[in-house]
Structure 1
Amino acid sequence: MDIARLLLQDLLKKYESSKAFTSPGPVQRRVQLNVYKGEFKPYDIEDYERKVHIHQVISQLRDEQLIDYTWMRGEEQHILHRIWLKIERVDAAYDRAGLVSPKAEAGRVLAEIDIAWTDFQHAEEEGTTDSIAWIGTVLADMRRVLSERQRLTSPLPTSREQALKLVAALRGLIALSLSGQQEMPERVFSIQIYGDSKAFAQQVRTRLASLIRRYLLPGLLGHPAERLDDLDLSEDELLGLVNLSRSPEIFEWSGPLTLMRCGRQLDYGFFPLCGTLSAAELNGLSIELPAQVQRILFVENRTNFYWLMQQRTQNEDWQDTLLIYHGGCFSPARGHFFHQVQKAAEHASASRAEPVTVYHWGDIDLGGFFMFSRLQHSFFPQLKPWHMDCHDLLSNISQAQPISRAYAERLQALLVDERFAVFHDVIKIALERGIRLEQEALLGK
């Protein structure tokens, strides 16, 4: 048993939880162990040989100016009372104990954060920080926490290695923003940042997704993070918000659409059932709506999109409708595609007596309302909900799902938010009945 190491570890652990650890100046209160009261477990006054050995060890540590101590009154050289750390020699105590100071670990990570901050400022100078403003907030929080706490703690991992990898990922996202690239495969990102195609997925992915949920999502949806806890978003969806994907994102629609680039055009009316486009093909692309398209319907859920796609091909009443798979919390790349649809709808409406009407079909719940609001405020101010009203909720109440008290409180908050005024009536019913409804419940009706 290495008594010296055990003793210093106990003292340093106490030091790290004391005011002395974070205070920039001297602190009068000692960082000490009351040995007589059993705060150093190996010390047993009934075990003479061990006691003598410990006395020899602490004498040596005092000679090294790492600690000091006192004896019980009347038991000098026989029974220890208190042992305390010499704060002015704390770095030497860490070395002697074979430990790395949390301050030293924090300092190394802070140095990398400062480099990332310089990258972010460069992006600001280039005018490309709109999409990565959240990273500036993350870095500021990390710097503040390290300065105040002098240790690795949230929003950083407690492991120095993992913290450095996370900061490296943030630097990679800043570089991706500066490059103007719409989308990057995760494995390519991992190789570029870590020199290993699997390092990101194995060690960083989950932590970065957590930061995105905490720092980016509230800004996108216009609500504080605690109100978004019930949004069921996968890591894939969250990472898609920063242009990282496992594979190229594919956009899907059903209905006539003309794609144009460099004076050439492609008529997707040739594909009566479904058209698709890779995010990799977005650059330089524009969209035109044929005259027959009178309305556009965004469908949040893929199952519902496929069901409507079949209905469209079998029903003449749907031939004037362009169906677009929405996909939930859309990525910047999908947002770019939606923006092209927006411009096409505006161009078509300008030359017609009746404008193109745009609808959104989503769940009758927090997520559905948030997705509608984001699509409306990002691209389509006149957006209308489709099958998301009181009648739809009540007529399918047998398939509704119960909501928790916390969920109801988050739903209640939308009633004082005018951005969700179109849903206030259905929200009131959802609260009265304590339910929510997924859009799949309406299939076949």
Structure 2
Amino acid sequence: MTELTQELAKIKEYKSKVLSLLLKKYETSKAFRTGEVSLQRPQFAIKKLNNSLSKDYFDEMNYRKREWIHQALAELQENEIIEVKWPKFKEGEEIDKVYLNFDAIGNAYDIAEIIPKQQKLEDIKSILSPLSEHPWQWVRNFWDYYNEALSKNQTSGLEIDNPKGYEDLVKTLLFLPTMDEGTMKRVLSHQLFNDTKYIEKHVQSRLVSIYKRFGDIELDTDIEYLDSIGIVENPQISLVSGPLIFNSINSSVDVAELPGGIGLSFETIKELEIKDINAKAILFIENLTAYHEFLNGKIVEDTLSSSKFTNTDHILTIYTGGYPHHALRKLLYKLKGFIQQSNNSVEVYHWGDIDYGGILIFEHLRRNYFSYLKPLFMDEYTYNKYLEYGMQFSPEYANKLTALLNDDSYDLWHKLIEALLRNKIRLEQEGLVINMNIK
């Protein structure tokens, strides 16, 4: 490279650095957000910078860098892209400030070879637009929020330099309502991207983040969030015990005849037809230890002296593991349908943690499956009796409980929530079960 070629390359490089800096300031300004020219132009003072441009400008070991920067500024000013302000009596020696001319912003992008932020925003908006008519409300809520933000020239956290990421997201979201229920993640990833790990690497975090923010459910893990929208990490089994009779293809199964119950796969649940529920009650249990201890008859409490609970063999018991996974959801809908069609008056209960998550899981089951659902061991009496075995919670956790306390749709739980907040202790089902057995 000749000396002249090197000089021209450096001047071009400094033009790009100067314009990049000014355009970044423009893109964060009120003028950019509103589209209206303001009195204050995008600018920088060379002495206040702390970047490679200022380091080169004040490099005492290589004075030519300053000369190249001056030449770059002179050419930009000659083309009316910028205006340079010099300190009094130091013109041509040390610049003071550099201003970007509003009328030349388009040219500035071209010279700097930068894609305008406005164009990036419009591109992302166009990519997301197919979600406006998505069949799922939380997806439409996502689109509504960001469509409005993008229309105001606001990113609101979107990664506008990664349009491919949003193309992948939209492709996935549009496909989800059409896929087979309970599709495994790697199968879906291969279907959409011809790569079994692509969703996990490039789509999952963004997809889960959106669902956490705009969905109506609060879960613990990414796997649970994906499962709730039909993407399965691995096939799940639903544990059931008690008087349930169902037909599946050419066979009839009476679960009551199977000691310890049965584990039902999604494929089995999808094909089975419920024939009878000869139970005194149906009980959903959140925790696996509690499920097994209950079936083994080790839970002895005053509440269970009720005639319907005198013999656990008369209870249709189902393990939920928290929020119901895709296979269990299918079973719950079938149970709900059978009870409605047969006018079965069986009572339905749920036993879970006495805490924020336990309350939300109960309400999820009540609002989506059984409107007459009742709580078991989720009351002030049980809470106070086993309070010493609970766990303290943080102020942030208390804020979430307080939000429920201020929500009339959770009025069933208000007295219990007041007790939780008063003691600042939550009671997990497993700890409760262990100490029930000890007593």
TM over 0.5: yes
- 4+ residue runs of structure 1 moved beyond 6 angstroms? none
C-alpha deviation, 1:411, in angstroms? 2.0
Equivalent residue for 2:428? 438
Equivalent residue for 2:35? 24
Equivalent residue for 2:159? 157
Equivalent residue for 1:225? none
3-state secondary structure, aligned to 1:190: helix
For 1:287, give the aligned amino acid.
I
- Are the counterparts in 1 of residues 22 and 44 from structure 2 also a CA contact under 8 Å? yes
C-alpha deviation, 1:160, in angstroms? 1.0
What does residue range 81-92 of structure 1 map to in structure 2 within 5 Å?
81-92=96-107
C-alpha deviation, 1:206, in angstroms? 2.0
C-alpha deviation, 1:296, in angstroms? 0.8
- Are the counterparts in 2 of residues 8 and 97 from structure 1 also a CA contact under 8 Å? yes
User: Is 1:255 the equivalent of 2:233?
Assistant: no
The normalised TM-score by structure 2 is: 0.83
TM-aligned CA distance change 1:255 to 1:243, over 3 Å: same
TM-aligned CA distance change 1:92 to 1:416, over 3 Å: closer
3-state secondary structure, aligned to 2:412: helix
3-state secondary structure, aligned to 2:297: helix
TM-aligned CA distance change 1:137 to 1:414, over 3 Å: closer
CA distance in 1: counterparts of 2:131 and 2:219, whole angstroms: 31
Equivalent residue for 1:135? 139
CA distance in 1: counterparts of 2:225 and 2:350, whole angstroms: 21
CA distance in 2: counterparts of 1:278 and 1:38, whole angstroms: 63
CA distance in 2: counterparts of 1:168 and 1:90, whole angstroms: 32
Equivalent residue for 2:392? 402
C-alpha deviation, 1:99, in angstroms? 3.4
For 2:159, give the aligned amino acid.
P
3-state secondary structure, aligned to 2:93: coil
Equivalent residue for 1:392? 382
CA distance in 2: counterparts of 1:361 and 1:335, whole angstroms: 17
C-alpha deviation, 1:290, in angstroms? 4.1
- The one of 75, 83, 87 equivalent to 1:72 is 87
Runs of 5+ consecutive residues of structure 2 not aligned to the other structure: 1-9, 300-308
- The one of 288, 313, 322 equivalent to 2:275 is 288
- Are the counterparts in 1 of residues 227 and 233 from structure 2 also a CA contact under 8 Å? no
- The one of 368, 375, 381 equivalent to 2:365 is 375
Deviates more, 1:364-373 or 1:304-313: 304-313
User: Is 1:320 the equivalent of 2:314?
Assistant: yes
The normalised TM-score by structure 1 is: 0.82
What does residue range 213-292 of structure 1 map to in structure 2 within 5 Å?
213-217=212-216, 220=217, 233-260=220-247, 265-283=252-270, 285-291=272-278
- The one of 39, 43, 54 equivalent to 2:57 is 43
CA distance in 2: counterparts of 1:331 and 1:435, whole angstroms: 28
TM-aligned CA distance change 1:167 to 1:252, over 3 Å: farther
CA distance in 2: counterparts of 1:300 and 1:45, whole angstroms: 67
Deviates more, 1:396-405 or 1:69-78: 69-78
CA distance in 1: counterparts of 2:187 and 2:194, whole angstroms: 9
For 1:88, give the aligned amino acid.
D
CA distance in 2: counterparts of 1:264 and 1:172, whole angstroms: 38
> 1:218-276: per-residue Cα shift (whole Å, max 9, x none)?
xx5xxxxxxxxxx5511111111110111223222112322235686433344221212
Deviates more, 1:277-286 or 1:45-54: 45-54
Equivalent residue for 1:186? 185
C-alpha deviation, 1:198, in angstroms? 0.8
Q: Say what the alpha-carbon RMSD is for the aligned residues.
A: 3.0
C-alpha deviation, 1:167, in angstroms? 4.7
3-state secondary structure, aligned to 1:297: strand
For 1:405, give the aligned amino acid.
P
TM-aligned CA distance change 1:239 to 1:43, over 3 Å: same
CA distance in 2: counterparts of 1:318 and 1:38, whole angstroms: 75
3-state secondary structure, aligned to 1:14: helix
- Are the counterparts in 2 of residues 67 and 83 from structure 1 also a CA contact under 8 Å? yes
TM-aligned CA distance change 1:412 to 1:58, over 3 Å: closer
Equivalent residue for 1:302? 288
CA distance in 2: counterparts of 1:400 and 1:258, whole angstroms: 38
3-state secondary structure, aligned to 2:311: helix
Deviates more, 1:381-390 or 1:261-270: 261-270
C-alpha deviation, 1:19, in angstroms? 1.9
TM-aligned CA distance change 1:94 to 1:192, over 3 Å: farther
Deviates more, 1:258-267 or 1:388-397: 258-267
